[in-house]
Amino acid sequence: MRPNLTMDRNDELYFKNEKFVGENPINESLNIAPLESTSLQNVINVWLINMTGQIVLRHQFGSGPNIPSIPTNKLPAGPYILRIDSENDIQIVKVIKI
């Protein structure tokens, strides 16, 4: 499924797919959150992959309502693939690091 890209009241672009929402582009940190209708009961794996296929970040989180910010300040600017593995589901979104 292709995520929706939407502008919010502050003119910030964010992505919204079936289970998660987050800012796009990203800057100093990657902030994603489950949508209200999504309950996270299992471990979540978050991967950030560059355009050459190299995994540049990988974080694993336990269940709960919040996913902590992931620092991205040391990554170079450019396009990345964000992969979120959760509860027998995989969500993939293209994000831009500025």
Q: List pLDDT tens digits, range 4-31.
A: 444 444 444 555 555 677 888 899 998 8
What is the mean predicted confidence (pLDDT) over 68-74? 89
Cβ partners under 8 Å of residue 87, min gap 6:
40, 41, 42
The predicted structure's pLDDT at residue 1:
40
The predicted structure's pLDDT at residue 71:
92
Structure-derived torsion over alpha carbons of residues 38, 48, 59, 8, reported in degrees to the nearest 10: -40
The predicted structure's pLDDT at residue 10:
44
Residue carrying structure tokens 């994000």: 95
Residue 76 contacts residue 97 (beta carbons within 8 Å): yes
The predicted structure's pLDDT at residue 58:
94
Which of the residue ranges 23-27, 79-83, 86-90 would you say has the lowest mean pLDDT? Answer: 86-90
Say what the pTM is.
0.74
The predicted structure's pLDDT at residue 19:
62
Is the domain defined by 4-97 classed in CATH 2.60.40.1930? Answer: yes
Residue 5 contacts residue 14 (beta carbons within 8 Å): yes
